[in-house]
Every structure is written in C-alpha cells, then in structure tokens.
Amino acid sequence: MSEIPTEDAWLAGALRDLARAPGTVLGIGHDVAAVRLASDRVAVLAKDVIVDGTHFHLDACGPRAAARKALAVNVSDLAAAASVPVAFLLGLVLPRPARRDLFDGLMAGFADAAREMDCALIGGDTNVADGPLVLSVTVLGRPGPMGVLSRAGARVGDVLSVTGPLGGSGHGRHLTFRPRVAEALALAAAGVPRAMMDVSDGLSRDLPRLCRASEVGALLEGDAVPVHPDVGAPAGSRAALDRALDDGEDFELLLAHAPLSPRVAADLAARGVRLVRIGTTRPAAEGVRLRWEGSSEPLEARGWDHLAT
Ligand SMILES: [Mg+2]
C-alpha cells in the first residue's frame, strides 16, 4: 500500500484520543461526517478551510471567486457522499486592518454561490487577525437516494470510474469548477456507487484513501485516465498522465461500482452523467498500482499533502 499522507497520519494519531459520539453515523476519515438527529433523521456535515496564498490568490482572483471556491469545495464533499446541500455557516478571518470593500466583495460572492449551489448562508462569525484571509465553511446537507455514501464499501473486482478529466486545474478550474452534486444524486438514484469521494488532493493521493477505507487494492490503467487539456503536456505522454494524477483540485467524483448494465448506462447518459472507467479494485495485498506501457508500478502518492514538510 502506498505511503500515508502526512495529514492522514497526524489525524490518525489524534483520533486515538477522541471518543466516537454515540449518534455518529459516519465519522472522521471520509468526505463528510453524519450524525443521527432522531431515529430516522441524519444530518450530513463537512468543513473545509481555504487560505489566501495557499488555495487561492486574492490579489489575482478577487473576493467573489475566493468566496465561491470556499463554498464549492464544501459542496463537493457533500456530492462525494451523494448528499443534498441545505445550508452553511461561515467563519471569516479578515487580514488586519479590516477593509469594508473586501468584506462586501466576499459576501456578494457567497450570496451568488449560495444561489448557484442551492445552499443557504445561515450564520457565522467574522474576525480580524494579522495574517492572510481565511475562509472557513461548515456545510450541512441531508442524505440523498442511497443515504450517506462513504469511501468504504468498494469490493474486489469493482470498476473504478471518474466523472471527468483530471489535471491542470491551477489554470483556473480550481476556482470555477461546478461541484458534481447533480451527477452524484443521479448515480445514487440509479444505485450505482459502492464507495465514492471527490478528487481534491489528486488521484494519486485520493485513490489510496478510498482503497484504505474500503480495504481493497487497485490497478489503475494509466492510458484510461482522462487528462484535461489544461495540463499543457503532450497528449498520451507520461508527463501529461503525471499531471492528471498529481495536480489535484479537480473536484471530479471517484467511485467504485459494479459493471454498468446497458440500461443503467443509458439512463446515466440521458441525465448527462459521464463515467470514465480508469481501473479496477484488486485484493488489498496487491496494493495500489498503476499500469503504464505494459508493466505495472506502485502508484506514488505525489498529490497535494498540506502538512508534508
Ligand atoms: Mg473530499
């Protein structure tokens, strides 16, 4: 199995000391958490924090695009769980001295994004500090047609698919991507995903996460991975594949599923869902491997690792 990302390793250490709350349906280690509110009511929750200089460059993109990204990355986690966005809370840390035009631009961006993603801003808190702009969003959702999907549930022999091309998102797509909520709900309505996540840190980091949660291995077919033209490397080259595997912030869905029947495939296509088959799950003992030019190699996790030094 490939190396565990630093963020995951730090979390694993901390989690040993945290008790699991009695109402927890899904805990840390997936794209969302889910808690039971009553015998038949589940709330789906996720939090993602983005920081100026790391996840966006405020001077270049402006406050509206930064605000949109802050909500979109969270809604993408709800999509990963095939859950329906409901509302969000905002934690805003403005650089000192607080500027009114920055605040107004951010709030206009959040208002637009809330309409676009059908997810209402219902509260939050604003602070000021000596540091970069920080946008912390906590999103609330409700379970979709299959309940709350997670990264666990893939079986050996499943098909691995993604919903769109990967790589090169730094050229602008990381700000403008559309969270795959409609696709996730269509997939769930058809009963397709066994395990699912969104590709935020790059397929080379995120596929091993899905495999660990599902206790399976994988064989990724390098020439089947859809590469976005934005990678700026020759189509079909290893350089282009590496960008698709490692760049991250694609926010496409990665899922494990049984082979699609012609009827389900036609139904998904009619709903505008495009699944690109990129490999298969294998026994855990085989690890996560990449086939390229006739031979296979361990998939190296070179995607985004926030805490790596
Ligand atoms: Mg995620």
Distance 210 CA to ligand 1 centre (A): 11
Separation of CA 40 and ligand 1 centre (Å): 25
Cα(30) to ligand 1 centroid in Å equals 7
Per-residue pLDDT reduced to its tens digit, 213-272: 999 999 999 999 999 999 999 999 999 999 999 999 999 999 999 999 999 999 999 999
Q: Are strands 276-282 and 193-198 parallel, antiparallel or unpaired?
A: unpaired
Nearest one of 62, 57, 51 to 92, comparing CA atoms: 51
Is the whole-model pTM more than 0.85?
yes
- Placement of tokens 């986690």 in the chain: 77
Question: What are the φ/ψ torsions at residue 161 (nearest 5 degrees)?
Answer: -135, 160
Cα of 48 vs centre of ligand 1, distance in Å, is: 9
CA of 254 to the centre of ligand 1 (A): 10
Ligand 1 center to 198 CA (angstroms): 5
Whether the predicted pLDDT of 308 surpasses 80: no
Burial class (CB in 10 A: 0-12, 13-18, 19+), 234: exposed
Confidence of residue 206 (pLDDT cuts 50, 70, 90): very high
Please tell me the distance between residue 100's alpha carbon and the centre of ligand 1 in angstroms. 32
Round the CA-based radius of gyration of the chain to a whole number and report it: 19
Per-residue pLDDT at 171: 95
Q: What is the pLDDT of residues 7-55, one digit of tens each?
A: 778 877 777 777 677 788 888 888 998 888 887 799 999 999 999 999 9
Q: β-strand 33-38 against 120-129: which pairing, if any?
A: unpaired
What pLDDT band is residue 307 in, cutting at 50, 70 and 90? Answer: low
Residue 233 Cα, ligand 1 centroid: separation in angstroms?
Answer: 27
74 Cα–ligand 1 center, Å: 8
Q: How much is the mean pLDDT over the chain?
A: 93
**Cα 80 to middle of ligand 1, angstroms:** 7
Ligand 1 mean position to 69 CA, how many Å? 14
Give me ligand 1 centre to Cα 157, in Å: 24
Contact 173, 228 (CB under 8 A): yes
